[in-house]
Chain A
Amino acid sequence: MKKFINKVDDILLESLSGFSAAHADLVSLHFDPAFIVRHNKASNKVAIISGGGSGHEPLHAGYIGYGMLDAACPGHVFTSPTPDQMLAAAEAVHANQGILFIVKNYAGDVMNFEMAAEMLAFDNATVYTSDDCAVINSTYTTGRRGVAGTVIVEKCVGSLAESGANLQACKALGDKVNQRTSSIGVALTSCTVPAAGRPTFDIGNTEIEMGVGIHGEPGRKREQMREADAIMIDCVDAILADFKVKNLPLEKANEALLLINGFGATPLMELYLIYNIAAKLFKQHGINIARSLVGNYTTALDMAGASVTLCMLDDEIKQHWDSPVHTAALRWGC
């Protein structure tokens, strides 16, 4: 393992300290328990809190700021945060309109946020993101995983909350965006959890893992490496099949947001290359890519690979995607 580390046990604390120092204009960091909040706390709005294991940066702290999250609770690497973090964060950002949690649908995250929600004195609701369509047979699992589509949910819900909408409306939009979003990931290499010191899974030089999750947990199938066009055909097909299962209309002239997300060790050059392929393929299926985002937005430490996320837009989602946002990782319009 070759990583920038002093002591493995200090990696999270040192990284969070660096994040809050680099973005001191936007956020402040609290310890014991650890959470990050945005400056200029609003006086009367739904407070949006997310969180999850670390190692997915910029998710979630990178999305704290105007038009997106009010707070984020970072867990240890790939490990859900604990309820005391959520309670302390809620206390800090509560602005008289209740708390909306945005939680990726993983057992650990769900349970810890659930316990926090049960203990919380304020009105609260939770949006569970579950955009990953990698798991084919739903009898194997009770829940789909929440992956890069979470960024789109956080952006849209954050925008709506900023406009003064109430808790129910924010939850409803979050659920809608999640429902209209599907993702699938491909890993070219494994990732290495610093405390473990070695790759999470073994993968040959000519192999790829189709449907990988954002922790390097295995996905659909181990396959042979092939050219980018062929890999993208499979990804696009998986997403289109998922939209069919979800019974979402895919008729002509539909507008969509295409997010190509890097897992951490794949160059932007390749991400743009696959963006181009995916956008063309969707176009052939009558889907017009009206909005796009390409970059490392939901990473898996040092894994090489990428995920493809498609969100079917409507006027409301488009409006909230386009609205001004000012965070460490996303900024436009202000």
Chain B
Amino acid sequence: MKTAFIILASQKIQREILAHEHTLESLDRAIGDGDHYINMKRGAQTITEMAADLAPLQPDAVLNKIGLKLLSTIGGASGPLLASFFISMGKSLQNNNASTLNIAEAFAAGVLAIRQRGKADLGEKTMLDVLIPVSNQFLLLTQQGRDTSHICRSLIATAELGMLATKDLIASKGRAAGLGERAIGHIDPGAKSCQLIITTVCNLILNDE
């Protein structure tokens, strides 16, 4: 993973978030408090504006800087969670010639940080319903030595499944937790935005090949 790739990915992610304004807003209005899109938009914009500052840095420092910036920009629950992800992923990333396995391990470290910060796990109708399966699948496929395009296609599918699975769940964490059975039938907005981001990054890699 190179710094230039992270910067390019952040620009694509911003574009995707803006393109999904209606989806993210409707989902959050249904079972949240209506601020998720605004917060994601603000976070994405801040990161793309940092491009010039990030360009000369090593990838681990880039991820750390993105994490700290998100921490002081997004607020809400997404802020500390996404910040914990990037800071922890940065700590686990080997800069020079990071292998795919190292990237998968760094991704898993980021997801673990979200679990710890949010005190949440799989099946609670949160972003972790996308992130945990994706992280597990990523580790498994790299350990099996699968090629990059196979991994990317598989992760896109895994993210989609995880996102859709939140629809039938009762929320026990996050803003929808007070809703009980009324949350059933609605996809979790945080899971949706994570699926968007993962899909965007994977597509970027696929198109690059």
A324 at the interface (CB under 8 A from B): no
A76 at the interface (CB under 8 A from B): yes
Whether B173 and A196, one on each chain, are in contact in the complex, defined by CB atoms closer than 8 angstroms, is no
Which residue on chain B has the smallest CB distance to residue A215? B33
Whether B75 and A141, one on each chain, are in contact in the complex, defined by CB atoms closer than 8 angstroms, is no
A84 at the interface (CB under 8 A from B): yes
B185 at the interface (CB under 8 A from A): no
B residues in contact with A216, CB < 8 Å: 33-34
Whether A140 and B177, one on each chain, are in contact in the complex, defined by CB atoms closer than 8 angstroms, is yes
Q: A33 and B72 in contact (CB under 8 A), knowing A112-B79, A137-B180, A196-B38? A: yes
A14 at the interface (CB under 8 A from B): no
Whether B172 and A142, one on each chain, are in contact in the complex, defined by CB atoms closer than 8 angstroms, is yes
Q: A79 and B35 in contact (CB under 8 A), knowing A140-B171, A142-B173? A: yes
Whether A81 and B75, one on each chain, are in contact in the complex, defined by CB atoms closer than 8 angstroms, is yes
Q: A107 and B175 in contact (CB under 8 A), knowing A80-B79, A112-B80, A196-B25? A: yes
Whether B118 and A82, one on each chain, are in contact in the complex, defined by CB atoms closer than 8 angstroms, is no
- Cβ distance B18 to chain A, nearest Cβ, rounded Å: 14
Question: Please, how many angstroms separate the alpha-carbon atoms of A78 and B75 in the complex?
Answer: 10
A217 at the interface (CB under 8 A from B): yes
A111 at the interface (CB under 8 A from B): yes
* 0/1 string, A73-103, CB within 8 A of B gives 1: 0011111111110000000000000000000
Whether B39 and A218, one on each chain, are in contact in the complex, defined by CB atoms closer than 8 angstroms, is no
A residues in contact with B146, CB < 8 Å: none
Q: A82 and B74 in contact (CB under 8 A), knowing A141-B178, A218-B182? A: yes
What residues make up the interface of A, taking CB atoms closer than 8 Å to B? Answer: 33, 53, 75-84, 106-108, 111-112, 114-115, 134-137, 139-143, 145, 193, 195-196, 200-201, 211, 213, 215-219
What residues make up the interface of B, taking CB atoms closer than 8 Å to A? Answer: 25, 29-35, 37-39, 42, 71-81, 83, 117-119, 170-180, 182
